[in-house]
Amino acid sequence: MSKESISKVYLILEKIEYIEEIVKNSGNITRALEDQVTSRPAILMHLTAIAEQFNKLKREHADDILSAFDNNDVKGMYDVRTYIAHDYEGVNLAIIEWIIREGLPKFKKQCKAIIKE
């Protein structure tokens, strides 16, 4: 694992923690996503940044790192990034909520395991 690839894992972890902080400050996920001025745009931007880091790892052929993640989860994250970028107003908030509730904790656990190695 190169230092550059590991730095991308740290950035993914950092973005997840930012989203967790936004949700905490808002009271819950639903309230965070209802805030169209601050919280929702910030969450969507952090999700986009997470997807971009996965895409960079893929382009670098960082298979040693990517193998720690489920391929479908990574693809799903990148698909969400594409949807956010191309149909911002049409983003399905139920999917975003599911990602925050179910997907991000899984990614966080996997990132921490990679960093420990």
The total of other beta-carbon atoms located within 10 Å of residue 78's CB is 17
Q: What is the pLDDT of residue 90?
A: 79
Which band of pLDDT confidence, cut at 50, 70 and 90, is reported for residue 87? confident
8 A C-beta contact, residue 65 and residue 57: yes
Q: What is the pLDDT of residue 39?
A: 98
